[in-house]
Amino acid sequence: MLNGYAGTVLRVYLADGRVEKTPLSRQMAEEFIGGRGFVAKTLFDELPPRVDPLGPENIFVMATGPLSGHFLPASGKTHFGCKSPASGGYGDSNMGGHFGPAFKYAGYDMLVLTGRAPSPSLLVIDDDRVEIRSAEGYWGMGSLSVEAKLKADLGGDFQILTIGPAGENGVVFACITHDFGRQAGRVGIGAVLGSKNLKAVAVRGTGDIPVGDARALYEEGKNAYRAVRAKPGFTGWTPEGTAGITDWINRVGAFPTKNFSTSYWEKHSDINGEAILRELKITDKGCYCCPTPCGKYGRARTGLGDVYVEGPEFETIALLGGNCMLGDIAEVAYANYVCDELGVDTISAGVVCSWAIECFEKGILDQATIGRELRFGDLKSVVYLLEQIACRRGIGDLLAQGVRTAAQKTGRGSASFAIQVKGLEWSGYECRNAPGMMLAYMTSDIGAHHARAWVLGHDLAGTAANVHELIASGGGGGKLPKSAPQGRAKYVVDSQHTRPLFDLLGICRLQYMELGFEPEHYERLFDKVTGRRMTWQELLAISEKVWQLTRGISAREIPGFGRAFDYPPERFMTEPVPDGPNAGHCVPREEVDILLDEYYTLRGWDKNGIPTAETLRRVGLDDVADTITDWACHAQESTGLK
């Protein structure tokens, strides 16, 4: 018996319908903890090298963590992984909601899907009973609609994951939807389910989870809730959720606007957290056991119709709002709803749509190619593109491949404003005066994603007086001095160990990141759940090991992988910000190289960004070290680096 774990790995062979249940090994639990660790280790061990991400040989892994499913603050996280169709390398995504706990109560810690079902299918898990059923009558439906229908057909106590038309059609930024608005949104995880002909996974669990010390855990859990509620930011966080940072991000000149052509927008206050409270919100909506529900459920009324939707979160406000210049919160929420129903990631969708609109404005893509005029600030333009993308119809077939591939195929200079790293579109922070945050995006193992490391505050620390002045004044336009690249790497590396640790544990990071919930609480909770005493530093060491492993997977999977894949978009290196607090700033290539050199040195990687065998052995990845030399040589030959 493994305390904190259900104890079973569920394997489903979709091609022939076989189901296999195997014990979770103690070694796996002790060396990789759970969640993202289980995903990465399974992909390294079982993914055949260099397979097509949308082919049947790719594997899909879902895993919970040891803290998932217990009555602890925000313990509802579930992690997903595969070879990413967006990047071609390691990919993972996570979501909150209620699915992970139900999966553990059904008796499982991890699901591994292999092969491709011969026809559209559902996977239904009802405690010990596991069945593949026909998805006839569900295929083609939207993500939200099919969840409602499945709950009606199976029972309201089932927790359900769904994909929409975008996942069915292989859009490389298709997502998985759950609980009518929770998303595993990044890396194209929904497209991989679609490639396997799997429309949905439904689970009902009624079991329990063994723990090390139930009575002590009960008391520790109560203490944790009290400690969260006592934090100074507790009452301020919940009303607006993540949307509450919109004003501050704009004031410091980090708000993506007009396809990242600038970083400050006068209309930000029309799409911020206060606008949600004023015009949309009906109620708060939280995940399993969360004391600080950041979801906002509301009604959006627009000229295109009225919808009920969870959101928008800050990232959606930034990428569908500022980046596409939708200046009405109801319109941002409507676009959010369309993305959710079609099953596309709002971050990537916002970047892809804004790139297409800029291409149209510059005459690179014309009306005959697109099918209509496109304009920034026009909801109809955005919805049109989203619908074309999900169906892969017309211009949508190009855009469905992500902004990197779309720009490569389009040419005519469009790659210079394709805002991505490693094929994954950039999320909601403009970084031309935030070199540490830029480095975090550049070196994120899945591509340009903020959730791996958030160091914007460190970038601004040297100009704190200016930042506070801007915040106090309620406005922008005060010029911030240029930030230097030196010394940023350490903050990034530390954050890349800390934030992903929560993905291993199976618990939300927001209480730690937003409220300052202390690490010692997690040490005690881990001890009481698993019976294993580990310090925060010992837990972080496992997080570092997983980081080195995911880099190794991408080095194996992507021909020529290395330094060239870590560079930011050309726009950020060559086009100074035109206005706002960071007017005139950019991060030229020589400064980017300073950032990468410092980072690679701290990581123990070579100059091409490949982990050395010595580094891999230091963190306990001897099996990766035994093969990394071949991948590194291949990468050097492909890039010309020696």
Q: Cα angle at 400 between 397 and 406, to 5 degrees?
A: 85
- Per residue in 83-139, pLDDT tens? 999 999 999 999 999 999 999 999 999 999 999 999 999 999 999 999 999 999 999
Residue 641 pLDDT > 60: no
Q: How far apart are CA 437 and CA 423, in angstroms?
A: 18
Q: How far apart are CA 39 and CA 44, in angstroms?
A: 9
DSSP string, 454-486: --HHHHHGGGHHHHHHHHHHT---PPPPPPP-T
Residue 199 pLDDT > 70: yes
127 torsion bin: left (phi>0), alpha (psi -120 to 50), beta (else)? left
Residue 520 pLDDT > 70: yes
Looking at residue 472, its pLDDT comes to 42
Residue 634 pLDDT > 80: no
- Band the pLDDT of 225: cuts 50, 70, 90: very high
Dihedral sign computed on CA atoms, order 137, 138, 141, 146: positive
Residue 319 pLDDT > 70: yes
DSSP string, 412-435: TTGGGG--EETTEE--S---TT-H
- Band the pLDDT of 479: cuts 50, 70, 90: confident
Q: How far apart are CA 629 and CA 632, in angstroms?
A: 5
Instruction: Give me the mean pLDDT over the 20-36 stretch.
Output: 98
394 torsion bin: left (phi>0), alpha (psi -120 to 50), beta (else)? left
Looking at residue 460, its pLDDT comes to 82
Looking at residue 25, its pLDDT comes to 98
Query: What does each C-alpha distance from 107 to 18, 61, 79, 178, 526 come to in angstroms?
Result: 18, 16, 17, 20, 20
Contact 64, 104 (CB under 8 A): yes
- Per residue in 331-375, pLDDT tens? 999 999 999 999 999 999 999 999 999 999 999 999 999 999 999
C-alpha 576: how far from its chain's center?
28
Name the amino acid, one letter, at 446: I
Class of residue 262 by CB neighbours under 10 A (exposed 0-12, middle 13-18, buried 19+): buried
Looking at residue 628, its pLDDT comes to 77
Q: Which tokens belong to 496?
A: 């890349």
Q: Which tokens belong to 12?
A: 């489903």
- Per residue in 415-474, pLDDT tens? 999 999 999 999 999 999 999 999 999 999 999 999 999 999 889 875 433 433 433 444
Q: Which tokens belong to 21?
A: 């249940």
Backbone φ and ψ for 94, nearest 5 degrees, come out as -135, 165
Dihedral sign computed on CA atoms, order 45, 619, 451, 79: positive
Residue 639 pLDDT > 50: no
Question: Which of 131, 135, 130, 104 lies closest to 119 in space, CA to CA?
Answer: 135
Instruction: Give me the mean pLDDT over the 254-263 stretch.
Output: 98
- Per residue in 98-111, pLDDT tens? 999 999 999 999 99
Instruction: Give me the mean pLDDT over the 255-273 stretch.
Output: 98
Q: What is the radius of gyration, based on Cα positions, of the chain? A: 23
Contact 225, 217 (CB under 8 A): no
DSSP string, 170-216: T-TTB-EEETTTEEE-STTHHHHHHHTTEEEEEEE-------S-HHH
**pTM for this model (two decimals):** 0.96
Residue 510 pLDDT > 60: yes
What is the percentage of the chain residues whose pLDDT exceeds 90?
Answer: 93
